[in-house]
């Protein structure tokens, strides 16, 4: 289980290591201990705390600093999606994802790979492709083997399939993969992924399945069937794109628990908390409560191994994108850090819950 953290020791050159005690002694009287970062508190609770990162933002030194200080897991916001990695048939471009992997390794962060199979971010050669079932299976196989083969030993977790379930929970949604291969495209992706990297933890990831909804039931039935039939799956990702006041801790905890009873991990994979209009202190406090409730639901269950937010700071949230049909609010502040990288009430709420639970 990923819950047991093993952070590699920093490799400090001998001379520098020898000088460190003196440096610490000199500082001891003048500098108070810095407050523990989220990643330290998460570690005390045996979970990871992560953020989705867009590689271009690594050029921003302040972003960089907050990310490496506070988080010990990183999800590529886009860089590992199909259309980024294999924009043309057989021609892979790993350059952007490699940047994120290098950053994560340099900062002792695990990587939550996202994602191998999705109905969005598909290049035309797949989305418009006229492949037979066997040809499409070959395309799927080759993509998964190439990507997992390259990152074997460096990317510990993969969202193998993202958002395959219909919103009503009445069955799989229509996607080019389903059209070309059939309903078993989901399990075939898991089988290929396990063959390609038997050590990777393989997740199914989706939205609106956090609490005990009809869609959550449909996801549960699907993964229960996989477990029964030996389809290699290790966990379920609960995306957690919430709207203010929408976190039902008891129901989410119940869902995490039943997945745990199947032997599956759960990770909160894409948490953010949106609202309409301008933020007020009351809104930010309610948002803090949402974050606290969700973290609480995670900590209550030993199979919940990570809590990942969809971004680091409000200035870069995808929710300010003007082309989102379902949501429009350029003032939204859905994350833990504000536009100037200052921690928000939601940050403090996580510190409080993690501290209390560790103690
Ligand atoms: C979904 C996907 C993510 C991302 C977000 C919005 O949740 O899983 O990769 O695209 O939407 O940015």
Residue 290's closest CA among 344, 346, 209, 339? 346
Rounded distance between C-alpha atoms, residue 356 and residue 352, angstroms: 6
The answer to the question of residue 30 being in a domain is no
The answer to the question of residue 320 being in a domain is yes
The answer to the question of residue 6 being in a domain is no
The answer to the question of residue 227 being in a domain is yes
Range of the domain at 239: 39-358
Number of domains comprising the chain:
1
For atom 6 of ligand 1, the residue with the nearest CA is 318
Q: How far is the CA of 54 from the centre of ligand 1 (A)?
A: 12
Strand boundaries in 106-196, DSSP class E: 110-117, 157-162
Q: Which two tokens stand for residue 39?
A: 């990643």
Q: Measured from the CA of 162, which atom of ligand 1 is nearest?
A: 8
> Taking the chain (359 residues) in consecutive chunks of 10 residues, what is each chunk's mean pLDDT?
40 36 43 86 98 97 98 98 98 98 98 98 97 98 98 98 96 97 98 98 98 98 98 98 98 98 98 98 98 98 98 97 89 98 98 96
Q: Which two tokens stand for residue 53?
A: 């990162």
Residues 72, 108 contacting (CB under 8 angstroms): yes
Q: Is 163 exposed, middle or buried (0-12, 13-18, 19+ CB in 10 A)?
A: buried
Angle between helices 345-358 and 281-299 (to 10 degrees): 30
Specify the pLDDT at position 3: 54
Specify the pLDDT at position 225: 98
For atom 4 of ligand 1, the residue with the nearest CA is 77
C-beta pairs of 128-131 under 8 Å, 24+ apart in sequence: 129/176, 129/180, 131/180
Q: Within a 10 A sphere around the Cβ of 136, how many other Cβ atoms?
A: 21
Residues 230, 183 contacting (CB under 8 angstroms): no
Residue 317 Cβ inside 6 Å of ligand 1? The answer reads no
Cβ-count burial 92-121 (b if 16+ within 10 Å, e if not): eebebbebbbebbeeeebbbbbbbbbbbee
For atom 3 of ligand 1, the residue with the nearest CA is 77
Residue 332's closest CA among 239, 243, 264, 201? 243
Q: Quickly list DSSP for 52-117.
A: EE-GGGGGSHHHHHHHHHH-SEEEESSTTSHHHH-SBTTB---HHHHHHHHHHHHTT-EEEEEEEE
Residue to mutate, 162, 204, 270, 322, ligand 1, most ligand atoms under 8 Å from C-beta: 270
Structure letter (DSSP) for residue 33: P
Q: Quickly list DSSP for 285-334.
A: HHHHHHHHHHHHHHHT-TTEEEEEES-SBGGG-GGG-TT-TT---TT---
Q: How many helices (H) and strands (E) does the chain have?
A: 13, 9
163 as an active site residue: the answer is yes
Q: Is 17 exposed, middle or buried (0-12, 13-18, 19+ CB in 10 A)?
A: exposed
Give, rounded to a whole angstrom, the gap between the first and last alpha carbons of the chain: 22
Residue to mutate, 119, 167, 310, ligand 1, most ligand atoms under 8 Å from C-beta: 310
Rounded distance between C-alpha atoms, residue 100 and residue 97, angstroms: 5
Specify the pLDDT at position 22: 35
Q: Measured from the CA of 120, which atom of ligand 1 is nearest?
A: 10
Residue 79 Cβ inside 6 Å of ligand 1? The answer reads no
Q: How far is the CA of 154 from the centre of ligand 1 (A)?
A: 22
Residues 219, 209 contacting (CB under 8 angstroms): yes
For atom 8 of ligand 1, the residue with the nearest CA is 162
Residue 318 Cβ inside 6 Å of ligand 1? The answer reads yes
Specify the pLDDT at position 2: 53
187 as an active site residue: the answer is no
Q: Measured from the CA of 115, which atom of ligand 1 is nearest?
A: 9
Q: How far is the CA of 206 from the centre of ligand 1 (A)?
A: 9
Q: Which two tokens stand for residue 273?
A: 């908390």
Residue 309 Cβ inside 6 Å of ligand 1? The answer reads no
Which of 70, 163, 249, 333 is an active site residue? 163
Residue 206 Cβ inside 6 Å of ligand 1? The answer reads no
The answer to the question of residue 22 being in a domain is no
The CATH number linked to 354 is 3.20.20.80
């Amino acid at each position: 289980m990923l819950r047991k953290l093993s952070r590699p020791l920093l490799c400090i050159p001998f001379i520098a290591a020898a000088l460190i005690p003196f440096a610490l002694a000199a500082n001891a009287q003048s500098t108070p201990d810095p407050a523990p970062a989220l990643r330290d508190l998460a570690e005390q609770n045996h979970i990871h705390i992560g953020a989705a990162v867009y590689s271009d933002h690594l050029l921003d030194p302040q972003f960089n600093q907050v990310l490496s200080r506070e988080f010990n897991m990183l999800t590529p916001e886009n860089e590992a999606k199909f259309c980024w990695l294999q924009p043309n048939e057989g021609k892979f471009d790993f350059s952007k994802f490699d940047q994120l992997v290098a950053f994560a390794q340099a900062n002792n962060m695990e990587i939550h790979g996202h994602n191998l199979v999705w109905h969005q971010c598909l290049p035309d050669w797949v989305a418009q492709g006229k492949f037979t079932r066997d040809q499409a299976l070959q395309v799927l196989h080759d993509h998964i083997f190439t990507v997992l083969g390259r990152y074997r030993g460096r990317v510990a977790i993969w969202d193998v399939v993202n958002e395959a379930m219909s919103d009503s929970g009445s069955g799989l949604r229509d996607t080019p993969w389903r059209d070309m291969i059939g309903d078993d495209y989901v399990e075939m992706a898991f089988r290929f992924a396990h063959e390609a990297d038997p050590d990777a933890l393989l997740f199914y990831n989706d939205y609106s399945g956090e609490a005990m909804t009809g869609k959550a039931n449909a996801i549960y039935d699907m993964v229960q069937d996989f477990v029964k039939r030996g389809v290699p799956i290790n966990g379920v990702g609960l995306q957690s794109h919430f709207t203010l006041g929408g976190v039902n801790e008891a129901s989410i905890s119940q869902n995490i628990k039943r997945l745990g009873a199947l032997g599956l991990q759960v990770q909160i994979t894409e948490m953010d908390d949106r609202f309409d209009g301008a933020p007020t202190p009351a809104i930010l406090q309610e948002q803090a409560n949402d974050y606290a409730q969700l973290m609480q639901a995670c900590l209550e269950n030993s199979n919940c191994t990570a809590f990942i937010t969809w971004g680091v700071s409000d200035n870069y949230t995808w929710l300010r994108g003007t082309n989102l049909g379902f949501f429009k609010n350029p003032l939204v502040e859905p994350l833990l850090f504000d536009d100037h990288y200052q921690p928000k009430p939601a940050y403090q709420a996580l510190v409080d819950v993690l501290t209390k639970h560790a103690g």
